Structure 1
Amino acid sequence: MRMSRKVASAFSPHTNYHNRSTLKLWSLAVSIEKRMLARELKLAAARPGDIFKPMWFLMLVISMVPLALSPDSVLLADIGSAMIWVATLLALLLNTEHLFQSDFSDGVLEQWLFLDRPLAWLVGLKLIVHWLFNVVPLICITPIAGLMLSVPTDVLIALLMTLVVATPALTCFSGLGAALTLGSSRSGILGVLVMMPLFVPVVILAAGVLIRATDGSEILPLMALLGAFSLVAATLVPIAVSAAIRLNIGGSN
């Protein structure tokens, strides 16, 4: 008897109306994020060069290292992880100029101001999508670069860990530099120069992790600092980027 009442209540008009209302509210809540993700996917499909260009740059730099220095595997193993980290950082900066510039030119950033979402939230989504499409492919080909430079397996694992943990912070700082230089004819170069002081602590911590991994020492404390750095950057930088976007949009009108 109780079971029949539960079944009847589940199919009652009031319950169905409540379920439909909840589903409608949920679909409205995620519609903006879904449209934004769909737009980024279309842009990535229309410009595949933006994804493959940093990967080609990374592999080109790594392939030139033995030619410029020495083919000695011992020497390459000593400097290989550091060279891969620097090359990855430079490759990451290649697409920074286009991070917000096209949206700024097309008026998309102005439309963000009128949406019922915090601008910092939308900026955070943009940075996440940029990290997924532009940085994750670089991390995926890092093992190939490590094999080319005879990097030991344990050091290569530490290198991958530092890239996964530290590149979110680098992506956030790159986005801040791109937002501060919106509308400039050389926004990419200016953004790098502006954000270089923020890159330095991340690079120093990552280098410390690689040195400890090479010596066989404990790397978790420095990895924790890198993770904290990325967490703080992911929390605060979107707020600063949204303020820079508002300033540039107000100055352009």
Structure 2
Amino acid sequence: MSMAPESPKRGGVQSIDRAVALLRCFTPGRPELSASEFARLTGLSTSTTHRLLSALQANGLVRQVAHRRYELGPLVLRLSHAVTARLDLRDAARPAMRRLRDLTGETVGLHVLLPNLTRAVVDQVESDQSLRRTYVGLGEPIPLNQGGPGKVLLAFLSERDREEVLARPLEAATPTTPVDPDTLRTELAAIRAQGYAISPAQRVPGINTVAVPIWDHTGRVTASISVTGPAPRLPEERLRELAAPAREAAWRVSELLGAAPEASHGEP
């Protein structure tokens, strides 16, 4: 008894799924791929891979470059620019920040890296508790060695930019602010390994903070999210407990900015 032929609708959906699987192979670390690499990563046959790549190329989703390799095509770039051009970081981060505030009961801040390699607080969702951290001076530059958010941004800079910051006179905001370059280098390596930074009153006396990175579509860390509040409520053990939900919130934002899944696992 012969099987019924596959319906055109089902076959079309399968082709779309396979084409999307090919596109998902591109990452910041794999901007170009050969047909054989696509086949290996997706498990598709070589003939199917070539057929799908031809269709994707005809529609501007990939383009062939030197040595029979492929990169993302102009249509993908236009679509990504259309999204990122209208997506404000604060709009992207607000829902995740609210959820994180509700979960932790503490103020959640949003921080960005400035062109002069300092940082600024650009938004916050305040705690509902009467005794809470409230960020003031939004938009004002803050040295990267002062506080958890700055240390996260500093940790994930390129080595050249990181050393440029460490070569500057490092000013202390409180008695616990790290100002020794060698001590900071050791701490920054730990931050990259664990994916978060803690700040025991390193920016404001009596205020403790945990901060995590936000990744963009280029695989760079250009912003961070923090959970911050009075030191008695946020001892170091509690800060480390809050790192996991903070990282989850930051990754939601990173995905909206186009970050690839493996971005959060790589060295800068």
Relative contact order higher in (CA < 8 Å, ≥ 6 apart): 1
TM-score, reference length from structure 2: 0.27
Higher relative helix content: 1
